[in-house]
């Protein structure tokens, strides 16, 4: 068992917290040449049983005492779930100008101790990106759009941005999400990917099992 950090975007962090996301796909490196990835004897870096601590965009706030409180960013502000409630910090240090100290940092800089989500890997598969099933696309955390007709299901079209676009296929929704993250042509390239299935625990990795 190995502990590793893993990066997620804001929408995917919210999907993890909402219980919609239990899978994630990452490009296999190096990419196999031909049809059998085993020929390269390349092994996915993450294995079953590994623990992954989620890194996400966050704010680093000076509390005025040469120490720092980290709280999680939600969109472009700090109105979402916080690791350390801003109101409590303001009460503790009423003379500190908090607006001056707020500084959003990218997910790659989140320290292990500040992470609030831990993933326990339960399955690892290597496959082509476009081999994803509808069930797996839903497990990737795509957002469903409410419909007046309960017999119909619609899914967010991420490439359009916002909630203006929708599709009627989970796979098409995930394809648009993959393209949104990885750029134009990335879905059509159909790379080999590693599909990780995980149990999501809403705790810091060092608190899991305590």
pLDDT tens readout for residues 107-156: 898 888 888 899 999 999 999 999 999 999 999 999 998 877 777 889 99
29-35 average pLDDT score: 76
Interval 151-161: pLDDT, tens: 788 999 987 65
| 84 prior amide bond cis, ω within 30 | no
Distance between CA atoms of residues 23 and 1, nearest Å: 19
Residue 79: what pLDDT?
A: 39
Residue 69: what pLDDT?
A: 58
Confidence of residue 105 (pLDDT cuts 50, 70, 90): confident
21 DSSP β-pair partners:
140
Mean pLDDT, the chain, integer = 81
- Three-state SS at 195: strand
CB 103 within 8 A of CB 14: no
Confidence of residue 36 (pLDDT cuts 50, 70, 90): low
Helix segments in 19-128, DSSP class H: 86-92, 98-101
For residue 142, give both structure tokens. Answer: 């795509």
CB 104 within 8 A of CB 73: yes
For the chain, list the domains and their CATH numbers.
Answer: 3-55+115-201 (2.30.130.30), 58-105 (no CATH)
Q: How many CB atoms lie within 10 A of CB 66?
A: 6
Distance between CA atoms of residues 139 and 119, nearest Å: 14
């Amino acid at each position: 068992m190995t502990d590793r950090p893993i990066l997620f975007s804001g929408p995917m962090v919210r999907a993890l917290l909402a219980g919609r996301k239990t899978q994630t796909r990452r490009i296999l490196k190096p990419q196999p040449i031909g049809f059998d990835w085993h020929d390269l004897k390349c092994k996915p870096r993450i294995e079953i049983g590994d623990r992954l601590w989620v890194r996400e965009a966050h704010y680093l706030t000076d509390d005025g005492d040469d120490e720092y409180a980290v709280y999680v960013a939600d969109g472009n502000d700090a109105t979402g779930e916080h690791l350390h409630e801003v109101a409590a910090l303001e009460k503790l240090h009423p003379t500190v100008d908090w607006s001056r100290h707020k500084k959003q940092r990218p997910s790659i800089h989140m320290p292990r101790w500040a992470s609030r989500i831990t993933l326990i890997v339960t399955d690892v598969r290597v496959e082509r990106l476009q081999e994803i099933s509808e069930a797996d696309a839903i497990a990737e955390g795509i957002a469903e759009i409410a419909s007046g007709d309960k017999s119909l299901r619609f899914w967010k079209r991420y490439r359009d941005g916002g909630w203006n676009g929708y599709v009627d296929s989970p796979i098409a929704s995930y394809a648009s999400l993959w393209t949104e993250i990885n750029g134009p042509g990335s879905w059509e390239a159909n790379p080999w990917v590693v599909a990780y299935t995980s149990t999501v625990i809403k705790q810091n990795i060092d608190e899991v099992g305590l």
